[in-house]
Chain A
Amino acid sequence: DTAVSQTPKYLVTQMGNDKSIKCEQNLGHDTMYWYKQDSKKFLKIMFSYNNKELIINETVPNRFSPKSPDKAHLNLHINSLELGDSAVYFCASSQDPTPGGYTFGSGTRLTVV
């Protein structure tokens, strides 16, 4: 069983479109995250949810909207996609408040053309 699963794995779309990435974890963790990894491999946190509540919201354009219907799911919706949104997006989970290592999903490679 996959611990943190993201779908889709690859996403190619045109500028201006709206798209969603889904994430689910079956580890019973309380906290879930979205990270963006750019072409230089730099990993930057975007959002963090603890038990369905938003706790970290970094400086991310408001075209990005996370949604957590329950603590096992954290989806990412992106409106009006731009070329600069092309990246790999990683979902992760951890058992806060004492953080163990994150368990990451396998990533979603988003390409905006």
Chain B
Amino acid sequence: AQKVTQAQTEISVVEKEDVTLDCVYETRDTTYYLFWYKQPPSGELVFLIRRNSFDEQNEISGRYSWNFQKSTSSFNFTITASQVVDSAVYFCALSEVNTGGFKTIFGAGTRLFVKA
């Protein structure tokens, strides 16, 4: 069965610190997709990244980087030199093939506070 665990409920850092948000997933499928989304205080949900199960290359986008390790079923997200604008709830998500399409489930989210 699909499962996404974000064990960190809340993280608080001071601006310019690096912070890593953990995500561990469970799936029986060999083909699946992993995502990260950001939900800032304004409430909208913003797509950050997608990774498929066959691509374990790490990715860097500006201050954001993602580490995908199938051996540990983890897809962790690191923000380098955090800024106040990074304060948000971050969701990790897993998408598996379902009848007629894909079914995506979300982790419980990690609330990140970045203090000035």
Contact = CB atoms under 8 A, between A and B. Distances in A.
Given A42-B108, A96-B102, A88 B43 contact: yes
Nearest to A96: B101
Q: Name B's interface SS.
A: strand
Given A41-B39, A45-B104, A48-B103, A102 B47 contact: yes
Contacts, number: 71
Given A41-B89, A43-B91, A50 B104 contact: no
Interface residues of A, number: 28
Q: Name A's interface SS.
A: strand
Given A48-B103, A97-B101, A106-B43, 14 more contacts: A41-B111, A42-B109, A45-B105, A55-B99, A55-B100, A88-B43, A92-B45, A94-B102, A97-B97, A99-B50, A100-B50, A101-B48, A107-B43, A107-B44
